[in-house]
Amino acid sequence: MVTASAYNSLEYQTDSDPNITAFGDSLQPGLKYIAVSRDLLALGLTHNTPVIIEGLEGIYLVKDKMHSRWKNRIDVYMGEDVKRAKKWGKKRVCIDYGIPIDD
């Protein structure tokens, strides 16, 4: 169980280069990405780990790291759709990770 919120690739929510993650990846609206709190990295949610999130369809990839002040938390990337991110809000969800992905 983690606390899940949502974020967008907009300067006022991130920084002056909102499409580049803390891992150096380029965010692309429409793709399924998450950011994780740094304490979750030690539990195996490392760069490009596939994750299933309760309440959302599909597999999300870990592509970003959150500020160190956050604990036991994920941020679901919602492109530039601020309305969708606000509608998601913040909730407790169950996640499953380390799922093999077929290429």
pTM, two decimal places: 0.88
Q: What percent of the chain has pLDDT over 70?
A: 94
Specify the pLDDT at position 25: 94
At 33 the three-state DSSP class reads: strand
For residue 92, what is the domain's CATH number? Answer: 2.40.40.10
Whether 54 maps to a domain, the answer reads: yes
Q: Is the pLDDT of residue 15 over 70?
A: no
Annotate the chain with three-state secondary structure.
CEEEEEECCCHHHCCCCCCECCCCCECCCCCCEEEECHHHHCCCCCCCCEEEECCCCCEEEEEEECCCCCCCEEEEECCCCHHHHHHHCCEEECEEECCCCCC
CA angle 45, 54, 14 (to 5 degrees): 55
Q: Is the pLDDT of residue 71 over 90?
A: yes
Mean pLDDT, rounded, for 75-101:
92
Return the amino acid letter for 34. Answer: I
Q: Which domain holds residue 31?
A: 2-97
Whether 102 maps to a domain, the answer reads: no
Whether 103 maps to a domain, the answer reads: no
